[in-house]
């Protein structure tokens, strides 16, 4: 559970900016791991400040004072309760891309469906990367999980709020309807605005599965807010199902190759190892059971006879949002589409690449880690193992001190002076 707060308008007052700070402080109840703010100026550009810790840790920074000093256009706040990804400054919200900056409350169960998912440790960052690359609508078509999203899109100068049924969001206008305020809980809005003498209208809950787009003409001081709401159909993940008729069951896979289409030769797929995700349990003719999956990169359906492999079957059903590999040994046709049979002895879970944090919390895989530590400890020159990564004290992007040397009084003095 995380918390989102914010306010927007073309004539935000000093008292309203104080109210935003109070909302961010009250929202600590929803997340204490890290805090961040995105502030959009009158030119449509933004500044982001974020750090590990509570809102009060952020308030003590000069960077926060700097972004709150001037009367700006949009303020987006986030208090993180981490679910995916390490707790550090990098993984704190907001996440920013070329045209999009935003925050997310929730957990995505099917991150593998998002584009470039292997590049992102945090599912929330992956969401906004997808919105930047393919837009909101196409992202929602594959967004599987709990979410409330709040972001600014520079391309059409629009503030966006939306949620599905698994996460809350509330909003209210100022009394003159020139400004808007929002938070994950209604009482946060009322408490912060009332404390600062800001008059406001009735607090509304965002309608689930609806996109709220707020547009404020930044060229006209005190311009009214143009709000447009549009419903969307949320993604529904494939579920395990037991079908009594086999021929129709396999036809549920949408991206399968048809015979003779595009010159496809199914023999080319034989004796290959493929990576796939699970669609669900199916029943074939005469009640035989198999697990169905999809190789997304090739758009083909794969099947695996789970009889005699109860542990793998159970793991596959419980871990549908991860990737598996298997060896194709044969193929068949069903309702005019090809499907490929996997050798059950070769089916394995794809291991996630382990990541550690280097200098200034830069994420490193094992190869990158060994490349920048090949010269060893800056004091004793002993090269570290990947398992010792969290024990290192980083001096620069390619220089570190090992745990043993950190206990040396002379080294500790040097590190204290350098910091």
pLDDT at position 163: 96
Task: Count other Cβ atoms within 10 Å, centred on residue 190.
Answer: 16
Residues 303 and 292: beta-carbon distance below 8 Å: yes
Local structure of residue 116 (DSSP, 8 states): T
Please check the confidence at residue 354 and state whether its pLDDT lies above 90: no
What are the tens digits of pLDDT across the range 156-203?
Answer: 899 999 999 999 999 999 998 899 999 999 999 999 999 999 999 999
Residues of the chain with CATH 2.40.50: 246-349
Q: What percent of the chain has pLDDT over 70?
A: 87
What are the tens digits of pLDDT across the range 315-343?
Answer: 766 655 567 888 998 888 776 678 888 88
Q: Report CA-CA distances (Å) from 40 to 9, 13, 54.
A: 11, 15, 22
What are the tens digits of pLDDT across the range 78-101?
Answer: 999 988 778 889 899 999 999 999
Query: How far apart, in whole angstroms, are the C-alpha atoms of residue 287 and residue 267?
Result: 28
Rounded to the nearest 10 degrees, the angle between the axes of helix 14-26 and helix 186-195 is: 140
Please check the confidence at residue 345 and state whether its pLDDT lies above 70: yes
Q: Is 180 helix (H, G, I), strand (E, B) or coil?
A: strand
Q: Name residues whose C-beta falls within 8 Å of residue 209's C-beta, 6 or more positions apart in sequence.
A: 163, 164, 165, 231, 232, 233, 234
What are the tens digits of pLDDT across the range 37-75?
Answer: 999 998 889 999 999 999 999 999 999 999 998 888 999
pLDDT confidence of 246, banded at 50, 70, 90?
A: very low
Mean pLDDT computed over 265-290: 77
Third-level CATH fold of 3-231: 3.60.20
Please check the confidence at residue 244 and state whether its pLDDT lies above 50: no
With the CA atoms of 403, 408, 413 and 415 taken in that order, what torsion angle do they form, in degrees rounded to the nearest 10? Answer: -20
| Domain covering 246-349: architecture | Beta Barrel (2.40)
Q: Name residues whose C-beta falls within 8 Å of residue 142's C-beta, 6 or more positions apart in sequence.
A: 110, 113, 114, 235
Residues of the chain with CATH 3.60.20.10: 3-231
CA nearest 234: which of 128, 144, 115?
Answer: 144
């Amino acid at each position: 559970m995380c918390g989102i707060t914010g306010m927007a308008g073309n004539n935000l007052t000093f008292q309203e900016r104080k109210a935003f700070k109070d909302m961010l402080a009250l929202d600590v109840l929803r997340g204490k791991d890290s805090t961040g703010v995105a502030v959009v100026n009158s030119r449509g550009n933004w500044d982001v400040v974020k750090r590990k810790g509570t809102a009060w840790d952020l308030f003590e920074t000069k960077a926060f004072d700097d972004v709150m000093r001037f009367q700006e256009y949009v303020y987006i706040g986030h208090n993180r309760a981490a679910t995916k990804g390490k707790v550090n400054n990098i993984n704190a919200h907001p996440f920013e891309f070329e045209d999009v900056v935003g925050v997310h409350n929730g957990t995505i169960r099917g991150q593998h469906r998002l584009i470039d998912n292997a590049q992102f440790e945090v599912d929330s960052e992956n969401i906004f990367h997808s919105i930047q690359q393919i837009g909101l609508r196409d992202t929602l078509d594959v967004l599987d999980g709990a979410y409330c999203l709040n972001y600014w899109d520079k391309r059409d100068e629009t503030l966006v709020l939306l949620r599905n049924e698994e996460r809350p969001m509330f909003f209210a206008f100022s009394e003159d309807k020139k400004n808007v305020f929002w938070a994950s809980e209604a009482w946060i809005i009322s408490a912060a605005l009332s404390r600062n003498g800001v008059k406001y209208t009735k607090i509304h809950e965002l309608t689930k599965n609806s996109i709220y787009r707020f547009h404020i003409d930044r060229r006209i001081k005190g311009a009214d807010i143009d709000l447009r709401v549009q419903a969307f159909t949320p993604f529904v993940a494939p579920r395990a199902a037991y079908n009594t008729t086999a021929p129709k069951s396999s036809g549920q896979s949408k991206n399968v190759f048809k015979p003779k289409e595009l010159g496809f030769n199914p023999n080319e797929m034989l004796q290959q190892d493929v990576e796939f995700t699970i669609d669900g349990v199916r029943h074939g003719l005469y009640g035989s059971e198999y697990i169905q999956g999809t190789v997304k990169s090739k758009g083909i359906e794969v099947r695996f006879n789970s009889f005699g492999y109860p542990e793998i079957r159970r793991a596959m059903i419980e871990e549908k949002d991860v990737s598996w590999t298997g060896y194709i040994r044969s193929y068949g046709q069903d309702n005019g589409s090809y499907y490929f049979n996997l050798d059950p002895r070769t089916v394995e879970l794809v291991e996630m690449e382990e990541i550690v944090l280097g200098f200034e919390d830069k994420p490193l895989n094992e190869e990158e880690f060994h490349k920048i530590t090949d010269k060893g400890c800056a004091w004793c020159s002993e090269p570290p193992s990947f398992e010792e990564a969290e024990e290192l004290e980083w001096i620069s992007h390619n220089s570190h001190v090992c745990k043993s040397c950190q206990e040396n009084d002379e080294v500790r003095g040097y590190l204290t002076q350098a910091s």
